[in-house]
Amino acid sequence: MKTVVAYYSHGGKTKAVAQGVALELQCGTEEIRLKKIHGKKPGAVDMMQKRKKGQLPAIYHESLNLNKQRTIILGGPIWGGTVAAPVFSLINHTDWKNKTVAIFVTAALFGTSKALAKLKKELESRGATITGQKAFFSSFRNPKTLKTAGARWAKTLKNTK
């Protein structure tokens, strides 16, 4: 079955988890990349504030091609108690009907349960079935540790693929 790990990562922590998941599931990764505005990528705080006004950042969704995938592992960092805006940009550009999705977030400290619940609800309302969810705390963890943690979680997903 076709599986991919799609993620957004601003500082590399979520990317490390995503790489661990992909390694364990022996599948590819797709990074959500931001489009530049006036030659500059938008900053995290700026995106967080715009999100509150209902504005989502532009991403290179054309090249992601998630519509052919049956199973998507979707992850992103927590920003201000919710999943980072670029993940929601991706959600808007993907057809989630009949897809099996496992979701994960990385965070320094707080907001993970509510953020995961919101993300789950959003995807389910678009027709996806959520088969797993996980929060990874990233403070003081190096990429190698996060990659291992991602791989460990992915093991638990194998039965649901």
Ligand X SMILES: Cc1cc2nc3c(=O)[nH]c(=O)nc-3n(C[C@H](O)[C@H](O)[C@H](O)COP(=O)(O)O)c2cc1C
> Which residues in the 87-146 window bind ligand X by CB under 6 A?
106-111, 138
Beta bridge pairs of residue 39: none
Of 126, 132, 141, 121, nearest to 96 by C-alpha is 126
Q: Can residue 19 be called a binding residue for ligand X (CB under 6 A)? A: no
Q: Which is nearer to ligand X, 14 or 94 (CB)?
A: 14
HSE-CB for 88 with a 13 A CA cutoff: 21
Q: Which is nearer to ligand X, 17 or 100 (CB)?
A: 17
Cα separation of 118 and 30, whole Å?
22
Q: Which is nearer to ligand X, 81 or 127 (CB)?
A: 81
Q: Can residue 42 be called a binding residue for ligand X (CB under 6 A)? A: no
* CA distance to 85, 114, 139, per residue, from 32 (Å): 11, 22, 22
Q: Which is nearer to ligand X, 126 or 143 (CB)?
A: 143
CB of 100 to ligand X, least distance (A): 23
Would you tell me which residues interact with ligand X (CB under 6 A)? Answer: 9-15, 44-45, 48, 77-81, 106-111, 138
